Amino acid sequence: MSESIKKVIFPAFTIIGIVIVIISIYTFFVMNFDVGVIVQFGIGVMFILIGKTWNKMPKTGIFKLFKILSLIGFAFIFIMLLFIFINGAVNTVDFNEEAVIVLGCGIKGEEVTGTLKRRLDKCIEYANINNNAIIVVSGGQGPQEDITEALAMERYLIDNGISSERIIKEDMATSTYENFVFSKNILDNKFKDEYKIVYITNRFHIYRAGKLAEIAGLNAEGYGAEDDMRAMSVSYLREILAVIKLWVFKR
């Protein structure tokens, strides 16, 4: 690598790292605490260290191995981000599904977050096209939540014109897999014949949610809501870890 290129690339690494760290600190205060914030902060620190020390490291031994592994790691993260993004950009619904499952995510107190609001708005969009579909809002109660996610979602949908008669609450799930398993139990009792569902979540979550729906035994299509820009970087980084866990443990 030429000296002129090095003079541009490594200061850029430092600047990018500082920006990532600042974003991490910001998202820590505007979101519920999330492992994605830690991952993002760690990546930012790594960028800063690489920018400051890359040229000073010896080119042999463990330092050479560190450089190689760093480059492989950054390439892997980039490929995974692209993979998740592309999968989330594809909607496969035909608006003839019998039911909708809206996957819950964090609320603050009793209020839906920006991420969850986008899922619910997408549900309203779908429900206004497919008037016959029933809606399962799925999500239990976690830390920093005063009520169940299912109840908060139901309230939001009703406040925005969806009839309460179309809504069924599933308020025990604490994970995406449980969202589908518990919702399936409800729908199996509702429909005696074979049925098809559409699951609604944010785009970053579409791929993994679809695989978990399949594992749970559902005939499901995805309908992706827009990602919350404030939480986008954290969400995608956290999702990389979740997808790897899915591939390894099938959950």
Q: What is the pLDDT of residues 79-138, one digit of tens each?
A: 999 999 999 998 889 999 999 999 998 898 999 988 999 999 999 999 999 999 999 999
Residue 15 lies in a domain: yes
* CATH number of 116's domain: 3.40.50.620
Residue 168 lies in a domain: yes
Residue 12 lies in a domain: yes
User: Do residue 115 and residue 219 come from a single domain?
Assistant: yes
Distance, in Å, from the CA atom of 139 to the CA atom of 150, rounded to the nearest integer, reads 5
Distance, in Å, from the CA atom of 91 to the CA atom of 115, rounded to the nearest integer, reads 18
Residue 186 lies in a domain: yes
The pairing of beta strand 107-108 with beta strand 111-112: antiparallel
Residue 74 lies in a domain: yes
User: Do residue 48 and residue 124 come from a single domain?
Assistant: no
State residue 51's pLDDT score: 77
User: Do residue 80 and residue 27 come from a single domain?
Assistant: yes
State residue 7's pLDDT score: 54
Q: How many CB atoms lie within 10 A of CB 80?
A: 17
User: Do residue 74 and residue 104 come from a single domain?
Assistant: no
Domain finish residue from 41, 64, 88: 88
Residue 94 lies in a domain: no
Distances from the Cα of 107 to the Cα of 50, 113, 135, 146, angstroms: 37, 5, 19, 9
Element (H, E) at 223: strand 220-225
**Among the listed residues 41, 42, 71, 32, the one whose alpha carbon sits nearest the alpha carbon of residue 54:** 71
User: Do residue 79 and residue 155 come from a single domain?
Assistant: no
Domain finish residue from 66, 88, 110: 88
Q: Is the CB of residue 149 less than 8 Å from the CB of residue 179?
A: no
State residue 181's pLDDT score: 98
Domain holding 137, by residue range, is 99-249
Residue 134 lies in a domain: yes
User: Do residue 67 and residue 123 come from a single domain?
Assistant: no
DSSP 8-class letter at 143: T
Global pTM?
0.84
The total number of structural domains that make up the chain: 2
**Among the listed residues 80, 77, 70, 20, the one whose alpha carbon sits nearest the alpha carbon of residue 50:** 70
- The set of residues, in sequence order, having a beta carbon less than 8 Å from that of 71 and lying 6+ positions away, is none
Averaged pLDDT in 10-residue chunks for the chain of 251 residues:
54 81 78 72 84 74 79 88 94 95 93 94 98 97 92 98 97 97 97 95 97 97 91 84 93 88
Residue 21 lies in a domain: yes
DSSP 8-class letter at 95: S
User: Do residue 50 and residue 121 come from a single domain?
Assistant: no
Q: Which residues are 224's β-sheet partners?
A: 201
